[in-house]
Amino acid sequence: MQTDLPWVEKYRPKKLAEVVGQKHIVARLKSYVKSKNVPNMLFAGPAGVGKTSCAIALAKELFGEEGFHQNFLELNASDERGIDVVRNTIKDFARTLAFNAGSKIIFLDEADALTADAQQALRRTMEKYTKTARFILSCNYSSRIIEPIQSRCVIFRFTPLTEVEIKNKLKDIAKHEGLAVEDKAFDAIIYACEGDMRKAINILQGSAFLGEKITEKTVYNVSSRARPEEIRKMIELALKKKFVEARELLAKLMYDYGMSGEDVIVQLYREIMNLDEGVLPTRAKIEIVNTIAEYNFRLVEGANERIQLEALLAQLMRFG
């Protein structure tokens, strides 16, 4: 097994054709490469769905391996998000001519972390150096980007990857690494990653070090997630007014899997919504979701996890 690089970097797409999912976005980016004319772009969407991969693959196809390092600047705005990075680093790179290309590309990852002053300075820089540089901004929440910048960019909305897309990529990695993976283990990874390919690959790599064969149990231990059926059993015990048994199962899950209070809350929410209408009517689900939101807020504010989660189980008993 090769471990020279984290697998999320080792298997990062080198070309746009290798990007998993996002077919409509990849098709549009390919047309820009073909015309050699790239506009300013804003990539918006959840984590681990291919925003950075698309930006890097686009630049490599546009500039080639030789010109890539000279014409492509990648900055993470969450590390350097003040006005100085715009005034100095970005401006110095943007003001010079591109090497054997029409314009350079400046990729600003996590651009929604930029301060308001930095965004205003960036807007002016985008205007001033339009002949020598193009900007690609990546963010989780486009609403945190000021309107003047949004209006200067072509906006691409990235969506979470489908189960089939994630599973096929994981099988390909497992084949290259010579891993023996149970089919249920793939399903467990998909459940734990929630459409985030980066998280899925990290879980697979973490599981690969714990034994020759990757099982469903290994995946849940590595990802600090409980099996859906265990969470469902805890909910059903609470609905049947068996509070002591539900409380004991909660303690066991938190101890066995090392789950935090927020992890339990998230899985509780997912399984409540997946319960059949016969087990829990829609009206009851609506009230329970409202209750879960209240207890999630309490946890975020710093309340004791065990006390709040046990109180939530007690609240579920009302809907039995």
Judged against a pLDDT cut of 50, whether residue 1 lies above it is answered with no
| Domains recognised in the chain with CATH numbers | 7-157 (3.40.50.300), 163-223 (1.10.8.60), 228-319 (1.20.272.10)
CB 234 within 8 A of CB 250: yes
Contact criterion met (CB below 8 Å) for 29 and 63: no
pTM confidence score: 0.84
CA dihedral 82, 84, 85, 91 (to 10 degrees): 140
Q: Cα separation of 171 and 186, whole Å?
A: 8
pLDDT per residue as tens digits for the range 11-32: 888 889 889 888 999 999 999 9
pLDDT digits (tens, 9 = 90+) for 115-166: 888 888 888 888 888 888 899 999 999 899 999 999 999 999 999 999 999 9
Residue range 68-94: average pLDDT?
77
Segment 206-215 shows an average pLDDT of: 88
What is the distance between the alpha carbons of residues 161 and 133, in angstroms, rounded to a whole number?
A: 31
What average pLDDT score do residues 214-232 get? 90
Across the chain, what does the average pLDDT equal? 89
Share of the chain above pLDDT 70, in %: 97
Examine the pLDDT at 296 and tell me if it is beyond 60.
Answer: yes
pLDDT at 154: 93
Q: Are strands 72-76 and 104-109 parallel, antiparallel or unpaired?
A: parallel
- Residue 96 is predicted with a pLDDT of 82
Lowest-pLDDT range of 50-59, 65-74, 183-192, 285-294: 65-74
Q: Which of the pair, 139 or 80, is modelled with greater confidence? A: 139
Higher pLDDT: 277 or 61? It is: 61
Residue environment code for 256-285, b if the CB has 16+ CB neighbours within 10 A, otherwise e: ebebebebbbbbbbebbeebeeeebeeebe
Distance (Å, whole) CA 100 – CA 38: 15
135 Cβ contact list (under 8 Å, min separation 6) = 40, 41, 105, 106, 107, 108, 122, 126, 153
Mean pLDDT for 177-193 is: 92
For residue 78, name the pLDDT band (cuts at 50, 70, 90).
low
CA distance 91 to 122: 9
- Give the full edge-to-edge strand order of the sheet including 41-44: 72-76, 104-109, 133-139, 41-44, 154-157
| CA proximity to 119, closest of 139, 148, 76 | 148
Position 82 confidence tier, pLDDT thresholds 50, 70, 90: low
pLDDT tens readout for residues 27-75: 999 999 998 888 999 999 999 999 999 999 999 998 888 788 888 888 8
Whether 299 shows a pLDDT value over 70: the answer reads: yes
Which candidate, 195, 217, 219, 197, places its Cα nearest to that of 208?
219
